[in-house]
Amino acid sequence: MRLAAIGFLAAIAACAFTAGLWTHASYETQFREAPDAAPSAKFPLGTDALGRDRLSRLVYGTRVSLSLAPAAAGFSCAAAALLGGVAGWAGGFAEIAIMAAADLFLSLPWMFLLLLVRAWLPLNVPAGVSVAITFALLGALGWAAPARVVRAAVRKLRNSDFMLLAEAHGCTPWRLLWRQLIPNMKPILLAQFWIAVPAYILAETTLGMLGLGIAEPLPSWGGLLRELEGGDVVSRWWLLAPAVLLTAVTLSLQLLRPRQEHSL
């Protein structure tokens, strides 16, 4: 199943990143003679109300999600590694302060935090800026949960026999960190990364569907799914294409993440 998931994601990523080579129009090109067209040989998923090719928009939207969600996840994991690592390694006041900040972030549902900070930032910004804002927010607000995991793991490693032995043999703190701690933290950080990627894709989609995500004309899965509002999906089934692709991609990403017995 994991191999199938990797194959599927690789195929989707290849299609998304070579979109310019095989789609016949850009995501913003308008075919004004064919607005809201049904699927045809020229437009396999039809066109939207502005006459833009839905397939092109779906492929370019996929590119946005598949490139920026991992970037945001990488950013939040790096922040979590730094803050959680300092808290677990140094202990004392640093640990109390960092964990209090993590508690504060975790005490609020994520969607509330996103709404709050997104509302603080301007809504009428260029599309590129809105992409950066959306995913930077996801990365910046998502550090708390992985930081707690990292801090617990660092504390456990710090007190482990092999670390004590290395310390007793005169290993310097820098060498302990570089040669013993960081290599052992890699699987934990990788697990947190794979948990964060689908979560960020879903969060961006929800923000987009609420009109607070990536600005037009740049497509995103959330923005594309807004077309479902008021649309008759029984007779216009092709409107569900972004939902099907989103589900398949997040399902595949869930298959890739390391199995965690007791996590939400």
Partner 1 sequence: MRFPVRQFARILAIVLIAGVACALLARFSPGATVDERELNPKAGEDTIAAWRADKQTGLTAGLANYFRGMAKGDLGYSESNHAPVAALIADRAGATLRELGIGLLGGWLVGLAFAIPAGRFQRASTYDALSAAGAAALLSLPAALIAYLCVLAGAAPAIVLMMVIAPRIFQFARNLLREAYRAPHVETARARGVSESRILWMHALPAAGPQLIALAAASVSIAIGAAIPAEAICDVPGLGRLAWQAAVARDLPLLVNLTMLVAVATTGAAMLSEAATKGKS
The residues of the shown chain that bind partner 1, judged by CB under 8 A, are 100, 103-104, 107-112, 115-123, 198, 202-203, 205-206, 209-212, 222, 225, 228-229, 233, 243, 246-248, 250-251, 254-255, 261-264
Q: How far is the CB of 176 from partner 1 (least distance, A)?
A: 33
Which residues 6+ apart lie within 8 Å of 73 measured at CB? 139, 142, 193, 196, 197, 200
| Identity of the residue, 18 or 254, whose beta carbon is nearer to partner 1 in the bound complex | 254
| Identity of the residue, 111 or 165, whose beta carbon is nearer to partner 1 in the bound complex | 111
| Identity of the residue, 57 or 81, whose beta carbon is nearer to partner 1 in the bound complex | 57
Q: How far is the CB of 5 from partner 1 (least distance, A)?
A: 11
Dist. CA 178–CA 184, nearest whole Å: 10
Q: How far is the CB of 161 from partner 1 (least distance, A)?
A: 26
| Identity of the residue, 46 or 222, whose beta carbon is nearer to partner 1 in the bound complex | 222
Residue 215 exposure: Cα atoms within 13 Å on the Cβ side: 12
Residue 45 backbone zone (phi > 0: left; psi -120 to 50: alpha; other: beta): alpha
What's the DSSP call for residue 79? H
Q: How far is the CB of 196 from partner 1 (least distance, A)?
A: 14
Q: How far is the CB of 120 from partner 1 (least distance, A)?
A: 5
Instruction: Please calculate the CA angle 69-75-81 and round it to the nearest 5 degrees.
Output: 130
| Identity of the residue, 85 or 198, whose beta carbon is nearer to partner 1 in the bound complex | 198
SS3 128: helix
The token duo for 94 is 């640093």
